[in-house]
Amino acid sequence: MEYEIALNKVSDDASAKMLVKAEQDCVETCFDRTETQKTQCGFGKSGVCCRICHMGPCRITPKSPKGICGATADTIVARNFLREVSGGTSAHSDHGRHLVLKLKEVAKGEAPGYEIKDEKTLKYAAKLYGVEYEERDKNAIALDLANLFLNEFAEQEGFLKTLELAPQKRQGIWNAKGIKPNGIDRMVVESMHRTTMGVDHDYKNLLLHSFRTSLADGWGGARIASIVSDILFGSPKPVNSTSNLGVLKKETVNILIHGHEPELSEILTVAVGDPEIKEYAKSAGADGITLAGICCTANEILMRHGVPVAGNVLQQELAIITGAVEMMVIDVQCCMPGLPDVAKNYHTEIISTTDIAKTIGADHVKMNASDPIKSAKELVKRAIDNYKNRAEEKINIPSEKEPLVAGFSVQAIKHMLGGKYRASFRPLNDAIIQNRILGVVGLVGCNNAKQKADSYTNILTQELIKRNVLLLQTGCAAIASAKAGMLKPEVALEMAGNGLKEVCETVGIPPVLHLGSCVDNSRILEAATEVVLEGGLGDDLSMVPAVGIAPEWMSEKAIAIGCYFVASGIDVILGNPFYVSGSEKVSEYLHNGAKEDFGACFHLIEDPYQAADAIIEMLMKKREALGINKKSERKLLDMKDRRAL
C-alpha cells in the first residue's frame, strides 16, 4: 500500500507506516478486510433482518412488509436494538462484576497479590452507599460494600442503589417513565426474554427497556467497575506518559497488554517492575522491558501508573507488524480474533488469559489465583525468552510518539479546580456561568474501520477547544487525542479559545481531559452530577450545557453508553448511524421523540465540522434556557475578573 493511500485510512504517521509494511510483509489487517467486506448487507444495516426464530431469517422489504410471524419492521428493528444495548451493558457489567468478586476476595484475605490500595476512596464509596465506615477495618467495609455491589447485579424486586447517585430530579424522571432498573442481570435476562419470538412487539416498549437496561450499565455495572477499580488500584491522579507505536523500543523486550479488565494489567505492571525479572531481561541481552497497552486496559494502567499507550483499537494488528513485540497478552473485549494470523508472520506470541475469552491460535494461559504475581512473572519470562527469536529484518518501529497527561478522575478534577483544601467544582461552574467556558463535551468511543481512524475525533477536538468547549474524553477517542498531541497542556493551550485558555492556565489543566477507559464514561456522568450539585447550572443533568459524542463508534458497548447518556438527559451525537433506518418510528423516537421523555435524544452527524457547529448551537440553547447567555457579549476580561478566577 502506498503511504498516501494509507493516510486515507489512518491519521497518524506511525499507523500509516505500519500499513505500508503490512503489505510488504504480506500481512492482512482489518483495513484490508474492510475492503473485502465492502458490500455490506442492506437488511442488516437498516436493522430489518430478523433471525430470532427458525421460521426465519425474515427480511422486511416493500413487497414483504412482515416477517412470517407478522412482526413489522418496527418490532424487528427495536428488538435488534435492544439486543445490542444488552450486549453492551453485559460487557461493562460483567467486567464490573469480576472486579466486585475480586474486592470480596481481597476483603476476605483470599486474593494474594491484590490489596485495597485506596482506603479513602473505599470510605467515600461506603459513605455514598450508606455502609458504616467509621472506625471500621478496611476489609470489613470492603466486604459489606462488595456484598452490596453483588446485590446490584442480583436485585429482583428493588431498584439499583447506584441510581441514587444521580440528581434527584433525574431519578424522578426515571421513576415517572417506569425505567428505573432492577438488578443488572435481571435487566439483561428480561431483554433477552422480551426480544425472543412472540413476546414484546411494541417498538416503544422495547426502546424504553433499552434505555432502562442502559441505565443498569451507566448507573450500575460501569459505575461500579470504576469505583471498585479505584478502591483496588487507586483513584487516578494526573500523570505523564507517552502514546503511539513509537513507545515500543528496539532494544527492550516489548510486551503489549490488550483488552479491558485491570486485574490482569495491574498484575503485569507489578511483574515487569520486579528486580529479578529486570535482571532476567538483561541476561537475555535486552535493555529492560517495555510494557505498553492497547485499547481500554491501556487507559486503566495509563491512568494509574503512567504506563505508555501503544495504540487504540485499530492499531492492535499494526503494533504486531512492527516485528518488535515479544508477547501480546489479551483478556476480554475489542481483541480481534485475527490477531494470531498477524502474529504468525512474526515471532509474537498471543496469550489469552481468561476462560470466557479464548482465541484460536492464541496460547491460553490461566493466571494462578493463589499466586497471580508468579503467573505474571512466568509470562514475562516467557516473553523475555522469545526476545532472541526476533527476525531483525522484519523489525521496523515507527518513531512517532507523543507525550501526554492523563489521570483525571472526578476527585482529581475537583482537587485541581478547588485546590487541596477546598476541592470543588465551583470554579468550573463559575467559568461556565461567566462564559469563559461555553460548555462541556464528553467525546468518547471507538474507532471504526469504515471511517478514517481518529480523523473525526481529532478535527472535532480542535474545533471545540477553539470555541471554548472543555472536553472530557475516554477510550479510544482519548488515545486518538493523545497521539495527536492534544493531551499536552501547552500544545492544546495554543489552540484553545481565550476563555478556556485562561481557565486551564489558572487551574493547571489541559483543555482535553483524559478520564479513562470506556467503563469510565460513568465518570463523565459523575462529573456532570457534581456540576448539578454545585449549583447555578440547573437542577438536572439535562439543564447543564453538556453534550456527548461518539464520533467513530463501532461497539455495542457504545450503543449502551449512548443510551444511558440520553436517558440521563444528555444529548448524544453519533458520527455514524445506528442500524435502525428500516423503521421510521424507531428512528423517529431515538432521534427526536426521546427528547420529550428524557430531555435528550440522538443526533446523527457524519461530518466533524457540522458536528462542531451543532454542538455549539446545543450548548447555546442550554445556556439560554439557564439565562446565562447574556454575559456572552462580554469580550475581554479585565484584571479584576482575572483575579476572581
Pick from 602, 611, 600: which is nearest to 545 by CA?
600
CB of 233 to ligand NFS, least distance (A): 17
SS (H, E, C) 191-249: HHHHCCCCCCCCHHHHHHHHHHHHHHHHHHHHHHHHHHHHHHHCCCCCEEEEECHHHCC
CB of 61 to ligand SF4, least distance (A): 13
In this structure, the strands spanning 49-50 and 58-59 are antiparallel
In the shown chain, the binding pattern of residues 523 to 542 toward ligand SF4, with x for contact by CB under 6 A and - for none, equals --------------------
Confirm or reject binding of residue 625 to ligand SF4 (CB under 6 A): no
The Cα 501–Cα 503 span in angstroms is 6
Is the distance from CB of 537 to CB of 567 less than 8 angstroms?
no
Instruction: Kindly state the cell numbers that stand for 304.
Output: 494509574
Is the distance from CB of 242 to CB of 403 less than 8 angstroms?
yes
CB of 189 to ligand SF4, least distance (A): 19
Biggest alpha carbon–alpha carbon distance for the chain: 74
Calculate helix-pair angle for 119-128, 222-233, nearest 10 degrees.
150
Whichever of 52 and 453 has its CB closer to ligand SF4, that residue is: 52
List C-alpha distances in Å: 35 to 7, 78, 341, 438, 450: 15, 29, 18, 41, 9
Whichever of 502 and 526 has its CB closer to ligand NFS, that residue is: 526
The Cα 588–Cα 594 span in angstroms is 9
Among 8, 25, 45, 53, indicate the residue that binds ligand SF4 (CB under 6 A): 53
Is the distance from CB of 544 to CB of 199 less than 8 angstroms?
no
Whichever of 48 and 558 has its CB closer to ligand NFS, that residue is: 558
Number of residues located near ligand SF4, criterion CB under 6 A: 14
CB of 245 to ligand NFS, least distance (A): 16
Whichever of 106 and 550 has its CB closer to ligand NFS, that residue is: 550
Whichever of 558 and 615 has its CB closer to ligand NFS, that residue is: 558
Is the distance from CB of 104 to CB of 145 less than 8 angstroms?
no
Residue 58 contacts which entry, ligand NFS, ligand SF4, none (Cβ below 5-8 A, type-dependent):
ligand SF4
Residue environment code for 326-346, b if the CB has 16+ CB neighbours within 10 A, otherwise e: bbbbbbbbbbbebbbbbbebb
Q: Using CB under 6 A, which of the segments 6-14, 53-61, 311-319, 367-375 binds ligand SF4? A: 53-61
The Cα 47–Cα 559 span in angstroms is 14
In the shown chain, the binding pattern of residues 73 to 112 toward ligand SF4, with x for contact by CB under 6 A and - for none, equals ---x------------------------------------
Whichever of 67 and 398 has its CB closer to ligand SF4, that residue is: 67
Residue listed under C-alpha cell 433499552: 210
**Minimal CB distance residue for ligand NFS:** 475
Contacts (Cβ under 8 Å, ≥6 apart) of 311: 15, 243, 244, 245, 294, 298, 318, 319, 479, 483
Tell me the one-letter amino acid at 645.
Answer: L
The Cα 567–Cα 594 span in angstroms is 8
Confirm or reject binding of residue 148 to ligand SF4 (CB under 6 A): no
Interface with ligand NFS by CB under 6 A: which residues?
295-296, 312-313, 333-334, 445-446, 475-476, 518, 555, 557-558
CB of 154 to ligand NFS, least distance (A): 25
Confirm or reject binding of residue 350 to ligand SF4 (CB under 6 A): no
Among 50, 91, 525, 547, indicate the residue that binds ligand SF4 (CB under 6 A): 50
Confirm or reject binding of residue 479 to ligand SF4 (CB under 6 A): no
The Cα 40–Cα 96 span in angstroms is 34
Whichever of 190 and 331 has its CB closer to ligand SF4, that residue is: 190
Whichever of 439 and 445 has its CB closer to ligand NFS, that residue is: 445
Among 1, 7, 22, 52, indicate the residue that binds ligand SF4 (CB under 6 A): 52
CB of 441 to ligand NFS, least distance (A): 16
Whichever of 79 and 102 has its CB closer to ligand SF4, that residue is: 79
Confirm or reject binding of residue 197 to ligand SF4 (CB under 6 A): yes
Instruction: Kindly state the cell numbers that stand for 152.
Output: 446490584
Among 5, 37, 42, 51, indicate the residue that binds ligand SF4 (CB under 6 A): 51
List C-alpha distances in Å: 365 to 429, 442, 465: 49, 37, 45
Residue 475 contacts which entry, ligand SF4, ligand NFS, none (Cβ below 5-8 A, type-dependent):
ligand NFS
Residue 361 contacts which entry, ligand NFS, ligand SF4, none (Cβ below 5-8 A, type-dependent):
none
Pick from 463, 354, 380, 434: which is nearest to 630 by CA?
434
Among residue numbers 54 through 73, which ones bind ligand SF4 (CB under 6 A)? 55-58, 67-69, 71
Binding interface with ligand SF4 (CB under 6 A) = 50-53, 55-58, 67-69, 71, 76, 197
